[in-house]
């Protein structure tokens, strides 16, 4: 198995309309990732949050079930509560857990060589863009 990651995405004002579905479909179809679990969250104006399993998703995101295939039950009520805390009221969100299939062979090679992961951090795009835009930082 390749490295597994998760993200929590928020959509203020409950304005999620499914624009991410084509991008996710492309990543799954070309073998870059495999979706392991996906949870959709709606948080109302009073701050009450409700999570949806794939089969119960609202119509505007129902198309996602075509790309997820068989998902596991990695995400539970605690994950829903934690993700909902980060969402402002009157928002929707999603918790996505995926395997980086593209890195599976490399991860296995590291393990076979008795290697171990010592650090792993995602660098925000804004930080990289700023560093690339400033030639003084590249020396």
> What is the per-residue pLDDT for 14?
76
Number of domains in the chain: 1
Task: Write the pLDDT tens digit of every residue in 9-32.
Answer: 998 887 776 778 788 889 988 999
> What is the per-residue pLDDT for 21?
79
- For residue 124 the two structure tokens come to 């925000």
Task: Write the pLDDT tens digit of every residue in 55-96.
Answer: 566 555 555 655 666 666 788 889 989 999 999 999 989 899
Range of the domain at 129: 4-138
Query: For residue 61, which of 14, 13, 97 has the smallest C-alpha distance?
Result: 14
Task: Write the pLDDT tens digit of every residue in 33-47.
Answer: 998 888 889 899 999
Residue 42 CA, chain-centre distance (Å), reads 16
Its pTM stands at 0.77
């Amino acid at each position: 198995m390749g490295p597994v990651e998760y993200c929590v995405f928020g959509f203020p004002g409950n304005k999620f309309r499914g624009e991410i579905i084509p991008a996710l479909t492309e990543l799954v179809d070309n073998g870059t990732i495999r979706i392991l679990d996906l949870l959709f969250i709606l948080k109302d104006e009073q701050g009450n949050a409700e999570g949806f399993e794939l089969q119960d998703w609202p119509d505007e995101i129902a198309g996602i079930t075509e790309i997820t295939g068989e998902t596991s039950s990695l995400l539970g009520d605690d994950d829903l509560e934690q993700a909902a805390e980060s969402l402002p009221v009157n928002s929707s969100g999603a918790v996505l857990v995926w395997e980086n299939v593209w890195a599976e062979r490399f991860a296995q090679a590291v393990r076979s060589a008795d290697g171990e992961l010592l650090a792993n951090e995602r660098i925000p795009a804004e930080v990289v863009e700023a560093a690339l835009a400033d030639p003084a930082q590249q020396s």
